[in-house]
Every structure is written in structure tokens, then in C-alpha cells.
Amino acid sequence: MDALVLLGSFAVLMLIGMPVAYAMGLSALIGALWIDIPIDAVMIQIAAGVNKFSLLAIPFFVLAGAIMAEGGMSRRLVAFAGVLVGFIRGGLSLVNILASTFFGAISGSSMADTASIGSVLIPEMARKGYPKDFATAVTVSGSVQAILIPPSHNAIIYSLAAGGSISIAALFVAGVLPGLLLGLTLAALCMVIAKKKDFPRGERIPLKQALKICVDALWGLMTMVIILGGILSGVFTATESASIAVIWAFFVTMFIYRDYKWADLPKLMHRTVKTLSIVMILIGFAAAFGYIMTLMMIPQQITGAFTSVSKEPWVILLMINVLLLVLGTLMDMAPLILIMTPILLPVATSIGVDPVHFGMIMMVNLGMGLITPPVGAVLFVGAAIAKLPIEQVTKALFPFFGAMLFVLGMVTYVPFISLWLPKVFGL
């Protein structure tokens, strides 16, 4: 009955249109009143939820990504990717995916990736003869790499949702191979489609111009080296690397590229703070929601329900994947991580799944939700840039969903993909 009151009130509040964060906070209050917990305890949990030093990494990474996105980095990354793969048949689709790989390693956000890369490449691909729905499908599916490749904001949220017991550095490193696997799988699919539909080849860029493009892009690509290299070398923590990334992004954008106006900086800061305020409210209310769930012993009940169906780890992981894929189509990624991690992580660990590995399983699952209707935020952004109906883009995404399900299966049932690099670096 306790679980019905808490989860039922949350579901009802969502159905009547209340924002997710407020639905979580209010349902936590309802749950506290139901089990006779003082309201003060809920308020303390909300404050404690956002009073964590590691949370500083999120605003810094968001700001660094925003500076680079609006400062001309996406255009330079597209040009750099064009040098590497643009001459292959269907090369612009490969350029799209590779540029998303690079930009995802700077922004950590699929939304920013789609908005930045898509605004450059969707019109360009259409102009070169690619179907616009295909160009949009490539863009939105390729942007899911940003969920996995460091510095993923969602990996930080997962660490917090797990109680802070999982190293953010380990999650960052664990996401490298799954992210690259996703990129390579999508690239292979694009090459097959390009050959089947006889998409055009790009032109080889002259050596002198190619060198200029590479040098120009190198300044921005150094952000990846600073973030990941600094963490792995032990020079600084994930939070410290985020703050240094902001300084570097600001320096490159304002003094090297000089494409961004100083007068526009206050507007950029305002947009960043507005985004972060929503995230922080969500994290605070999620902490209270998780606290009430723990008192009601809901995670233990869910674990018992899963293990009563089957004792086989592969069956339980399959059920978890199906559950996350369905939920990912109905709710945004961050709240799902905050809600489902305390529920499903005990289930995963009870069958011997490493928490870092389970984090990667969640990232791939919920990343697919970002490009799946009816609540696929990244899908909506891509369709808006292309000025296409959601239905048309979704139809073009079907082959890409198949490729991503393959990657999900590999990440789920081959732990080596997620755990090898963290072991190599002793994380």
C-alpha cells in the first residue's frame, strides 16, 4: 500500500500535467504524510540532495559546452570530420556521426549536440542530395554518443542517484568504449545505406587546406584532452576538470576563434543558469523522493519481484532493459535516472552486475528514449531544425533503432566493454 500511495500519487500528478520535478516533490510529501514522517525530514533531504561538492561539475560542464557550441566549435568540428571521412561514399553522414563524437566529448549533452551539429549538417546534407529525414535521423541517433562519452552530465547524475558511492571518473572512462561502439555501429549502417541508395561521395580536401582545418579544430579538441587526460592522470578531479574546461573554452572561444561577441556572454550565462536551476530543483526533489522510497522499502520489494520471475541474470537484465526502454519513451532522461537508479541498482547488484556496468546499461537505454516518441526531446529538436513532421523522422529512424538495440545488447551482456578501461586505469 505504501508503494501505491507514493508511486500512484506521482503517476497521477504527471498525468494531470504537473512538471516532473514538482510531481516528485509533492508525491514525496504525500508519502511522508502517509507513513507519518515529519515534513522537516523531507525538507532536510531536499537541501542535502543539492548540497554536494560533486554537483559543481554539472554547471561547469554545461557552461563549457555552451561556450564552445555557440562560439563556432561545431562548424570547425564538422570541417575536421570532413577531412577524415568526407571523401567516402555517403561521407557526409559519416562526418555527421564523427562530428557528434567530437562534440559530445566537449558538451556532454545530446540536446546541444543535435542543435549544434544539426544546424550545420542537416541543411548541408539536404543540399548535397541526401533525404532530409535521413540526415535528421543520422544527426539525432549520432548525438546519443554524448550520453556515453565523457563528460556525460547524466553519468554524474547517475553517480549521485546511486548515493555517491560510484566514482564519476570510473563512469566517464567506462563510457568511452560503449560510446565508440555506438558511433562505429551507426557509421557502418550509414555506409551500407549509402551504398544501397548510391549517396554521393565527398571531394578530397587539398592538403594545405586540410592542415589549416585540423589546426583550427585542434584548439577545441584540446578540451577533451584536458577533461579526460586530467582525470586519468590524477592531476585533478572530475569537478576540477570541469572548471578548467570552462576557462579553456572561454579562452579558445573569445581569444582564438573570436566568433562570439562579448555582448552576448550575459545572455549565454542566463540560459545556462536557467537550465541548471531546473536540474537542481529536480535533483533536490528526487533526493526526497528516494528517501521516502527507502523508508517504504520499495527497492527491496522491486528486487524481490524481479527475482521471483527468474533467477537467471540474463533474463532479469532483459526485463530491466524492456522496462527502461518503455519508460524512456514516456519521461525525460534525468528524472528517470534519479527515480529508477535507487530501484533498479539493488536488483542489478543482487545478480552480480557491477554498478559501473549497470550505469552504462541505463545510459544506452535512456539515450534511446531521447530519440523515441512521444517524449523524445532530442528527436523534437532534430525535427524542428529540419522542419519535418515527427512521424517522418521516426520512420527514417527505424534502421538506427535496430543498430542501437544491437549496441544495447552488446553493452548489457558483454561487461568487458564497459569495465575494461576503468580496470586498466585502476578506477
Query: Can you spell out the DSSP letters for 356-376?
Result: HHHHHHHHHHHHHHTTSTTS-
- Give the model's pLDDT for residue 269: 84
User: Does 16 map to a domain?
Assistant: no
The residue segments making up the domain with residue 271 are 40-424
Provide the domain count of the chain: 1
- Residue 187 domain-assigned (yes or no): yes
With respect to residue 32, please indicate whether it lies within any of the assigned structural domains.
no
pLDDT of residue 401: 93
28 inside domain = no
Count, residues in the chain = 427
The answer to the question of residue 18 being in a domain is no
The per-residue b/e assignment along 52-67, b for 16 or more CB within 10 angstroms, e otherwise, is: eeebebbbbbbbbbbb
Residue 48 included in any domain: yes
Strand partners, 89: 201
C-beta pairs of 180-183 under 8 Å, 24+ apart in sequence = 180/101, 180/149, 181/407, 181/410, 181/411, 181/417, 182/144, 182/145, 182/148, 182/364, 182/404, 182/407, 183/97, 183/98, 183/100, 183/101, 183/142, 183/145
**pLDDT tens, residue order, the chain (427 aa):** 777 888 888 888 888 888 878 888 888 888 888 888 888 888 888 888 788 777 788 888 888 878 877 777 777 888 888 788 878 887 888 888 988 888 888 877 888 888 888 888 888 888 888 899 999 999 999 999 989 988 888 898 899 888 878 888 899 999 999 999 999 999 999 999 988 888 877 777 887 888 888 888 888 788 878 877 777 777 777 788 888 888 888 888 888 888 778 888 888 888 888 878 888 888 888 888 888 888 887 777 777 777 787 888 899 999 999 989 988 887 778 888 988 898 899 889 988 999 999 999 999 999 998 898 877 888 888 888 888 888 899 999 999 999 999 999 999 999 999 999 999 887 7
Is 3 domain-assigned? no
| Whole-number Å distance between alpha carbons of 384 and 378 | 10
Among residues 207, 214, 190, 175, the alpha carbon closest in space to that of 367 is found at 175
Q: What gap in Å lies between CA 163 and CA 404, rounded to an integer?
A: 29
- 22 in any annotated domain: no
Please tell me the predicted confidence (pLDDT) of residue 210. Answer: 82
